[in-house]
Structure 1
Amino acid sequence: MNFFRGDFWNGTKSSTPAEFMNFLTEGDVSKIVIVNKKEALVFLTEQALEKASHKGARKSKIFPWENSPNYQFEFGDLQNFENQINSIKEKENLDTILEYSTEQNFLGSFFISILPFLILMLIWFFLMRRMSGSSGGGMGSQIFSIGKSKARLFNEKDNIKINFNDVAGLEGAKEEIQEIVEFLKSPEKFTSLGGKIPRGALLVGPPGTGKTLLAKAVAGEAKVPFFSLSGSDFVEMFVGVGASRVRDLFKQAKDKSPSIIFIDEIDAIGRSRGKNNFVGSNDERENTLNQLLTEMDGFDTNTGVIVLAATNRADVLDKALMRAGRFDRQIHVDLPNLIERKEIFGVHLKPLKTGKTLDVDFLARQTPGFSGADIANMCNEAALIAARKSRKTVGKQDFLDAVDRIVGGLERKSKVLSQKEKQTIAFHESGHATVSWFLEHAAPLVKVTIVPRGISLGAAWYLPEERAIVSEEQMLDEMCATLGGRAAEEVIFNKISTGALSDLEKVTKQARAIVTIYGLNKKIGNLTYYDSTGQSDYSFIKPYSEETARVIDKEISAIVENQYKRAVKLLVKHKENLKKLAKILIEKEVIFKEDLEAIFGVRPFQSEEEKKPKSPPKTRNSRVVAKKVPKTPSKKAPSKNAEKNTGDRS
């Protein structure tokens, strides 16, 4: 094969069959070589090369020993091409030589033969790169390092900007956490007196209260290596991987001691062993927990390694994990009180452009039961609302609208209600407002609305007191106010609807808590069937007999029905004022406390907060904040202790 045939290398010019026939007729062609039955190579005579018309078809000067063709071209059918050549030779009496040649493209054949192997090598290389991960640890390094810890290491060189100044409120929790930092900074201060550095601290509290934020503040303050990971990082589909990662994590921490290990959501691996294990097979999480228990109880107490962990499900953790010597300290991070909420607002309001007249005390009073995460979300929503309205600063009304958005949900302007439905919802919500107005222990009313929000078609909004304990009278008054909506439908329309679903769900839970949890029922007596350890969740057997179960059902039903009759009695007594309130609500869609005072007079049972002079605007676009009525405490700590009485549901 001639690899260098072409214009650049040897002067071979491209031609056409028609042009070639002219050359052949004139007698300029000495030889024709047909290559692979589709290409013709033309060699000119010495006399033809002297002609001006063939000046461009000169011989190669790079390879002078090579007898290269002067022209080349491709033709169609070989038989026709041969017939044309023979016809011209006979006609012109030419002695032009016609030869045939077969050439092979060795380079192309070589590439075609090795192409499958190249493809397989590329696929293998790609898979190895994927398996090795992005850390550059070499081919297949992830396979061999699957038992290595996934903890992220922070040290003094990392730019961790969060410190204890960024953690507002939580003074008790910060005090204990700061003490742990002092253990690491100057351990001799405590060990010199014979004390031992604690091995672990467990942060327990509802979601959004700042447990992870406290851990980040420790990382920023301690100035020691800080290993951070989640409990789910230990769990893999391979048996033994979790335990291997625990061993590797503690080995790294001891090598860099003094150091801190932070395990977020430790309940992913720290659940009680034997719970909910009906299959009886090997549980990878139990193996991981066993290794964690061994590591925490096995390493020397003076190595300077402290384990921090966070969870909102402390009731499901294994008792061996909670004992002294492992997690020596349990730090409870509760929902912030009034003063702490004010401090939290101070932190989250810093990046916002707020008005000069914004009252932080007012915002703190309007958000009982809000966690730190809720307050952060509220500030962000307020900024978005102000930007949506093209305002230059974030004002008080933006924050009130933000609370409406968070607590009540998005306003559904597209929801079209018939006049009859609107009337039913208006009387339902007016019933809530009327009953709560005349009950001593009901939460103070803020506003009533029939504007659809979220899943609710209407709502009566309250501002509950922050109570440490709740009496039976308070719970019964709240249940009566909750049933006021359905009672109003019966009093006015002499029939009821499905709109009280959420109300019935709430009062049923409260009544069951009165009877089975708090021991406030006379027939059941001073007994509780509440299990704080959570063991009863996995039991098939009830802690009481069938006869007691029937008594419980009867007492729950009696409590609910008695409060319903009480609500009906109150509404019958104030039926005319109820109609006035519903009429105003249909006209305005949103009414406030002042509207109720104009109809019913001053509330008989005013709290100190209610006696303070307030003058909220009475327009729909200027809404006063609405908060939820507190739920009855249950087994799981609620994220907010405030709740709204939702009206009719779709």
Structure 2
Amino acid sequence: MADEKTPNKKPKFNAYWIYAILIAVLLSMTVFNSDSQWQDAPRTNVSDFERYLNDGDVKKVVVINKQRALVYLDQEALAKDAHKKIPKTTFLKQANTGPHYEFEIGDLTLFQERLQEAKAKGIQFDYDFKTKHNIWTDYIGILLPLVLFIGIWIFLMRRMSGGGAAGGGGQIFNIGKSRAKLFDEKTDTKVSFKDVAGLEGAKEEVQEIVDFLKNPDKYTSLGGKIPKGALLVGPPGTGKTLLAKAVAGEAKVPFFSLSGSDFVEMFVGVGASRVRDLFKQAKDKSPSIIFIDEIDAIGRARGKSNFTGSNDERENTLNQLLTEMDGFGSKENVIILAATNRADVLDKALMRAGRFDRQIYVDLPDLRERKEIFEVHLKPIKTSESLDTDFLAKQTPGFSGADIANVCNEAALIAARNGKKGVDKQDFLDAVDRIVGGLEKKNKIITPEEKKTIAYHEAGHATVSWMLEHAAPLVKVTIVPRGQSLGAAWYLPEERLIVRTEQMLDEMCATLGGRAAEKVIFNKISTGALSDLEKVMKQARAMVTVYGLNNKIGNLTYYDSTGQSDYNFSKPYSEETAQVIDKEISAIIEEQYERAIALLEKHKDKLTTLADRLLEKEVIFKDDLEKIFGSRPFEKKEEQKETPESILEKEDGGESKAS
């Protein structure tokens, strides 16, 4: 067992080591084959050489490559004081036989004439001319640029083909291979449906896919065909990828997982080649599952973004994918799963029956499903015994599974920061505030006048929402800056499936309550209502152009659920209708603004009391509003008994977040 746990510390093989060794060998050959004696001889000059020659000290002169002369002295000359600097022995303790000097000869013809003149004078010495070549230097001059060019070319090709990543795309000659990661059912895939909380409807759909792979004869014996593909559609973070992993874990078959961007490459034809290789591998390991995450990277509608008229590599990849999915027979037992949050941009040919037979919508979790998701993510966290998951589920409407996981992690970090031994209810509330509202900035510099304006602005929201029947009642208001907003308010909305006209109008009136309060109290308005105006503008435009809730426009909608209008440069209505739409939007907003002003004028004293308390405490809760306004006459009994879902609406320049 000890050997299994001991990590392998051996260095990994790298091809670049081979290149380094080859270069080192070539350089060493160059160095060791050079004339070391030539380099070790002491330097002298022509004048000293002529003096040594005339004194009869020179025994031999050898001219190398017509440039340098090597001078050899006789043994008697070495004993003279003029040559005492010359070592008598070499580093191997052998007699120094020369060369004893070396120097640049300059003009070869002139130097040769001087040697002949010395000979004519009767001076006894020998001289010779030699040419020496280092063959390895010549080879390096030819081979080194070629080796460098090949090395740079291989390096660039590896980078462009995936940079040595895992899978077939890591090498230049395997660039067309599929980069899908294969999960083995015995070792890798450990996720099951028990690990997927909520998503009951989606789990029922994919459970049949698992049954198809486990017992195909049960369905084919009656003449039915196994579905070829299922498309998981839903907002980000709802668990589409997790659901696909659970299918692989339950089916216990080979599971090929990759992203749509893995098919995209700068080389022409690579994407299509990878599609062919992926489906070939899946058929070889049948029964199996192919999962393509974010399929909209290659599955976008063709011909929409190709304005240049040139060939589009992404379209070629999609065409190959369509061909491969059509080529599957019912007996091959290969099912394709895909996930996207942009189903509206996918190509019609990809969505048709026979390719993706089923479209499974993975929606945001409801109250009961959020509780189940909390229970899954709370298992590794040390929580207090009094923590209630029902309460946590009610505090997080509109949160996806990924958001809930983030809340649990943030709560654990907050508890650890405060030195607690367990995560309690307040830590989770602080985590929700932190994630939705942003980081609390208590040290932000705000003048007293600005703080007063913010307090009345938030008090205006609270007052109007408390007085209107269909507006979401308030839970907490703060004037402590959070994120990009200067104030924040938490509301208690109902999780409605349909919204009526009066409900939308009451919400718009409550949203404009902040600016209306500034008008009523100061008779001035500020830029702090940016997010309010953005929100009501979207709501009013949706009433008029989307939901058909305007009497003058009538029962018409200009909404296109297919997303085709995004590529059009013209609007689906005339200029006259556009003017009517603008007037109706403006009329709706101004009417609710005047309505908010009238409400605040009527309850001005209570508005002032609420703002003063907010300035004093900086944070007020529902109990403070009940002391000032009393109980809401139209409040439901269920709302009085328990705390319903809360939501944060950021004001004063921040973006508003709604469920």
1:559 aligned onto 2:585: no
Instruction: Give, as a single letter, the amino acid of the residue that structure 2 aligns with 1:69.
Output: T
In the aligned structure 2, how far is the partner of 1:294 from the partner of 1:5? 69
Which residue number in structure 2 is paired with residue 404 of structure 1? 433
| Within-5 A mapping of 1:209-608 | 209-608=238-637
Equivalent residue for 2:146, pick from 110, 114, 120: 120
Residues 413, 559 of structure 1: alpha-carbon distance in 2 compared, 3 angstrom cutoff: same
CA RMSD across the alignment: 4.0
Which residue number in structure 1 is paired with residue 97 of structure 2? 69
1:166 aligned onto 2:171: no
CA contact (8 A) 2:168 2:174 kept: no
User: CA offset at residue 648 of structure 1?
Assistant: 4.5
User: CA offset at residue 309 of structure 1?
Assistant: 0.8
Residues 43, 406 of structure 1: alpha-carbon distance in 2 compared, 3 angstrom cutoff: same
Residues 298, 584 of structure 1: alpha-carbon distance in 2 compared, 3 angstrom cutoff: same
Which residue number in structure 2 is paired with residue 632 of structure 1? none
Please state whether the residue corresponding to 2:482 is helix, strand or coil.
coil
Q: Which runs of 5+ in 2 are unaligned?
A: 1-31, 107-121
1:111 aligned onto 2:116: no
CA contact (8 A) 1:29 1:96 kept: no
CA contact (8 A) 2:69 2:105 kept: no
User: CA offset at residue 526 of structure 1?
Assistant: 2.1
Please state whether the residue corresponding to 1:150 is helix, strand or coil.
coil
1:264-299 CA distances to partner (integer Å, 9 max, x unpaired)? Answer: 112222223343444444433333333322222232
CA contact (8 A) 1:270 1:317 kept: yes
CA contact (8 A) 2:166 2:179 kept: no
In the aligned structure 2, how far is the partner of 1:136 from the partner of 1:339? 41
Residues 103, 571 of structure 1: alpha-carbon distance in 2 compared, 3 angstrom cutoff: farther
Instruction: Give, as a single letter, the amino acid of the residue that structure 2 aligns with 1:194.
Output: G
In the aligned structure 2, how far is the partner of 1:106 from the partner of 1:582? 97
- Structure 1 window deviating more from structure 2 (233-242 vs 421-430): it is 233-242
- Structure 1 window deviating more from structure 2 (202-211 vs 69-78): it is 69-78
User: CA offset at residue 549 of structure 1?
Assistant: 2.5
Residues 294, 98 of structure 1: alpha-carbon distance in 2 compared, 3 angstrom cutoff: same
Instruction: Give, as a single letter, the amino acid of the residue that structure 2 aligns with 1:560.
Output: I
In the aligned structure 1, how far is the partner of 2:329 from the partner of 2:642? 62
CA contact (8 A) 1:30 1:45 kept: no
Please state whether the residue corresponding to 1:106 is helix, strand or coil.
coil
1:93-128 CA distances to partner (integer Å, 9 max, x unpaired)? Answer: xx99665566665338x4256235224213313422
1:454-502 CA distances to partner (integer Å, 9 max, x unpaired)? Answer: 2211122213221111111111111111000000000000111111111
1:352-405 CA distances to partner (integer Å, 9 max, x unpaired)? Answer: 222222222111110000000111111122222223333333222222111111
In the aligned structure 1, how far is the partner of 2:283 from the partner of 2:316? 22
Residues 72, 223 of structure 1: alpha-carbon distance in 2 compared, 3 angstrom cutoff: farther
Which residue number in structure 1 is paired with residue 647 of structure 2? 627
1:527-565 CA distances to partner (integer Å, 9 max, x unpaired)? Answer: 222211122222334333333333222221121111111
| Within-5 A mapping of 1:193-212 | 193-212=222-241
In the aligned structure 2, how far is the partner of 1:254 from the partner of 1:292? 14
Equivalent residue for 1:647, pick from 645, 652, 657: 652
Instruction: Give, as a single letter, the amino acid of the residue that structure 2 aligns with 1:210.
Output: G
Which residue number in structure 2 is paired with residue 154 of structure 1? 183
- Structure 1 window deviating more from structure 2 (599-608 vs 131-140): it is 131-140
In the aligned structure 2, how far is the partner of 1:34 from the partner of 1:290? 78
CA contact (8 A) 1:210 1:372 kept: yes
User: CA offset at residue 164 of structure 1?
Assistant: 1.7
Please state whether the residue corresponding to 1:544 is helix, strand or coil.
coil
Instruction: Give, as a single letter, the amino acid of the residue that structure 2 aligns with 1:304.
Output: N
CA contact (8 A) 1:131 1:139 kept: no
Instruction: Give, as a single letter, the amino acid of the residue that structure 2 aligns with 1:207.
Output: P
- Structure 1 window deviating more from structure 2 (527-536 vs 129-138): it is 129-138
1:200-247 CA distances to partner (integer Å, 9 max, x unpaired)? Answer: 101011111001111122222222122222222223344443333323
- Structure 1 window deviating more from structure 2 (579-588 vs 283-292): it is 283-292
Q: Which runs of 5+ in 1 are unaligned?
A: 8-12, 79-94, 615-623, 629-643
- Structure 1 window deviating more from structure 2 (288-297 vs 277-286): it is 277-286
Residues 492, 114 of structure 1: alpha-carbon distance in 2 compared, 3 angstrom cutoff: same
Please state whether the residue corresponding to 1:202 is helix, strand or coil.
strand
Sequence identity of aligned pairs in percent? 68
Residues 15, 227 of structure 1: alpha-carbon distance in 2 compared, 3 angstrom cutoff: closer
Please state whether the residue corresponding to 1:153 is helix, strand or coil.
strand
CA contact (8 A) 1:199 1:326 kept: yes
Please state whether the residue corresponding to 2:472 is helix, strand or coil.
coil
In the aligned structure 1, how far is the partner of 2:577 from the partner of 2:78? 123
1:133-175 CA distances to partner (integer Å, 9 max, x unpaired)? Answer: 6379999952x54433322222225422322221111111112
User: CA offset at residue 34 of structure 1?
Assistant: 7.2
TM-score (norm 2): 0.80
User: CA offset at residue 44 of structure 1?
Assistant: 6.0
Residues 422, 112 of structure 1: alpha-carbon distance in 2 compared, 3 angstrom cutoff: farther
Residues 308, 99 of structure 1: alpha-carbon distance in 2 compared, 3 angstrom cutoff: same
In the aligned structure 2, how far is the partner of 1:427 from the partner of 1:207? 37
Residues 428, 295 of structure 1: alpha-carbon distance in 2 compared, 3 angstrom cutoff: same
User: CA offset at residue 131 of structure 1?
Assistant: 2.7
Please state whether the residue corresponding to 2:134 is helix, strand or coil.
helix
CA contact (8 A) 1:451 1:589 kept: yes
In the aligned structure 2, how far is the partner of 1:60 from the partner of 1:416? 82
User: CA offset at residue 192 of structure 1?
Assistant: 1.6
Number of equivalent positions: 600
In the aligned structure 2, how far is the partner of 1:576 from the partner of 1:55? 111
Residues 3, 272 of structure 1: alpha-carbon distance in 2 compared, 3 angstrom cutoff: closer
In the aligned structure 2, how far is the partner of 1:55 from the partner of 1:266? 80
Instruction: Give, as a single letter, the amino acid of the residue that structure 2 aligns with 1:646.
Output: E
Which residue number in structure 1 is paired with residue 214 of structure 2? 185
- Structure 1 window deviating more from structure 2 (253-262 vs 366-375): it is 253-262
Residues 16, 332 of structure 1: alpha-carbon distance in 2 compared, 3 angstrom cutoff: closer
CA contact (8 A) 1:58 1:70 kept: no
TM-score (norm 1): 0.81
CA contact (8 A) 1:129 1:139 kept: no
Residues 554, 124 of structure 1: alpha-carbon distance in 2 compared, 3 angstrom cutoff: same
Please state whether the residue corresponding to 2:647 is helix, strand or coil.
coil
Residues 59, 114 of structure 1: alpha-carbon distance in 2 compared, 3 angstrom cutoff: closer
In the aligned structure 2, how far is the partner of 1:537 from the partner of 1:177? 32
Instruction: Give, as a single letter, the amino acid of the residue that structure 2 aligns with 1:647.
Output: D
